[in-house]
Amino acid sequence: MNSSKLASRSYRLFLVTAVGYCSYLAWTICSTEEKPKPVTPAAEKKNLVVLGTGWGSVSFLKDLDIDNYNVFVISPRNYFLFTPLLPSCTTGLVEGHSLMEPIRNFFKGKSAVEFYEAEATEVDPERRVVHIKRNHTIQGEVAQSVIPYDMLVVGVGADNATFNVPGVEEHSCFLKNANDAQKIRNRITDCIETALCKGRSSDEIQKLLHFVVVGGGPTGVEFAAELQDYYKDGLRDRFPDIMDAFRITLIEALPNVLPMFSKQLMDYTESTLKAEAINVLTKASVKEVSKDDIRVEVTKPDGTKDIQTIPYGLLVWATGNKQKGIIENLAMRLNKQQDSRRGLVVDGCLAVQGAHNIWALGDCANSKLPPTAQVAHQQGSYLANVFNAMARTPSSGGPEVQPFDYNHQGALAYIGMDKAVADLNLLGFNISSHGFFTFLFWKAAYLNMCLSARSRFLVTTDWMKARVFGRDMFRE
């Protein structure tokens, strides 16, 4: 088949997909019918406090029969963030506000819900209160107060794990929230504009345009792929004088990138990244980070180790999670949590062991499941059904609750230049795929995962705008 026929078929496929999805968007926006929900009398309502507005907490709130509880939602950010597409924000493919959904939209018109834009600093399980801190930027003061609870759902997520490597906190960029994405985007622009200044030596330009990514999981791989797309889509033609120095290095401590995928897809990903001129450095452990370079210990094929010093203009750290301070503090208060390392240990029903009427989900829960959005989303929906059942059942007995059963639907990752990889679990069969049509599936799956029609529309618009006009290349 010649290239013109292939291009014609690809265009028709894109057109049919776009029309079909626009129809789906219109249906979701116009469909407002709600099912009737059982309502508990006001005098019998319990105070339910929800910490966090991430995947687990929002999925819980979406499926909860809110009218049966007095709900208090506490989070330092007043929006839900669609984190899987954060790497696309760093290079202007998707705008940050397109991934944000105001948290109040999930319980619009519900008088039984109160939201506090505040940071939960401590949970006191003996007194059954949550200590919160609010920064009033207008008044220039910090207000502290306590929120009592009868039932507490903890979904505060996790912080970035630095593995105690010196210099990581001071000199690295992370990629967990919208501010991180904007910081990386500004830093990329700073590196390019600084390299363009007159009088820069060749060594300085090489350093400024060397972008290093530590972490070969989906976040690290997708960011490296998006950055290489950014270079090929616009930077290479607009800045031809310096773009010969543009380089990306991806560092992973394990033998392969994307270790959660099949061996076939791991090999395909590495070969694709290398074909796109991304330097993939596996079996490499970062030992120290300074302002201008990092020291990496690389294990050679013969088992010997070599220390390399790698200069960089931008360093993005995308390697794992560590517990937040509030989780560590709560674990120390509970007898059955003293040996917890990955979060609050929960039982099969997501109840925190050693505590009464406290549940945890998502990245702050140690449920022996991977810390992914898919896990947190399913946990939130499950826990909402548990709470709905408790509201329908007399308090003397309580409902018979089945343990949480995680349904792994697969893993997806974008690897650059309209290619993606997918390990899917369909009807009990494991299906691996890669390439352009997997990329189309990746787009459709991520749009379907968006929790609102608003986000689906904005993300689709951003993709179309970037395809027609190119990516935004300015710093905010």
Q: What is the CATH number of the domain that holds 215?
A: 3.50.50.100
The interaxial angle of helices 263-275 and 218-230, nearest 10 deg, is 30
Output helix, strand, coil percentages for the chain, rounded to the nearest 5.
Answer: 40, 25, 35
Residues 122 and 179 both lie in one domain? no
Instruction: Please tell me whether residues 195 and 222 are part of one structural domain.
Output: yes
The domain in which residue 369 lies consists of 28-160+322-392
Distance CA 361, CA 383 (A): 9
Instruction: Give the span between the Cα atoms of 310 and 100, in whole angstroms.
Output: 36
Among 392, 419, 444, the domain boundary falls at 392
Q: Same structural domain for residues 181 and 149?
A: no
Residues 331, 310 within the same domain: no
- The answer to whether residue 14 is domain-embedded is no
Pair of tokens at residue 115? 């939201």
Task: Map residue 252 onto helix, strand or coil.
Answer: coil
pTM for this predicted structure:
0.88
* Whether the Cβ atoms of residue 133 and residue 121 lie closer than 8 Å to each other: yes
Closest CA to 387 of 105, 125, 150: 150
| The residue type at 444 | A
List beta partners, residue 128.
Answer: none
On whether residue 351 sits in a domain, the answer given is yes
Residue 217 sits in the same domain as residue 283: yes
Q: Is position 397 within any domain?
A: no
Neighbouring residues of 40: CB distance < 8 A, sequence distance ≥ 6: 67, 68, 69, 391
Domain boundary among 392, 424, 445: 392
Strand 46-51 versus strand 151-154 pairing type:
parallel
Looking at the structure, tell me whether residues 258 and 338 fall in a common domain: no
Contacts of 271 (CB under 8 A, 6+ apart): none
What type of residue sits at position 260? M
Which helix H or strand E contains 181, and what residues bound it? Answer: helix 178-196
Q: Is residue 75 part of a domain?
A: yes
- Shared domain for 330 and 317, answered yes or no, is no
- Cα Rg, the chain, nearest whole Å: 24
317 vs 180: CA distance, rounded Å: 11
Res 257: pLDDT: 97
CB 94 within 8 A of CB 459: yes
Do both 144 and 177 map to the same domain? no
Shared domain for 366 and 415, answered yes or no, is no
Give the whole-angstrom CA distance, residue 192 versus residue 208: 7
Q: Is residue 109 part of a domain?
A: yes
How many other CB atoms are found less than 10 A from the CB of residue 338?
11
Measured at the CA of 419, the angle between CA 211 and CA 16, to 5 degrees, comes to 135
pLDDT at res. 233 = 86
- Retrieve residue 247's tokens: 């380089």
Q: Which residue has the tokens 């203009």?
A: 313
The pLDDT averaged over each successive group of 10 residues in the chain (476 residues) is 46 49 50 43 78 96 92 95 96 94 85 89 96 76 87 96 95 95 95 90 95 97 96 87 91 95 95 94 96 95 93 96 93 82 91 95 92 95 94 69 91 95 85 94 94 94 92 76
Q: Alpha-carbon distance 85 to 458, whole Å?
A: 12
User: Are residues 118 and 86 located together in one domain of the fold?
Assistant: yes
Backbone angles phi, psi at 382, to 5 degrees: -60, -50
In terms of phi and psi (left: phi > 0; alpha: psi -120 to 50; beta: otherwise), the region of 278 is beta
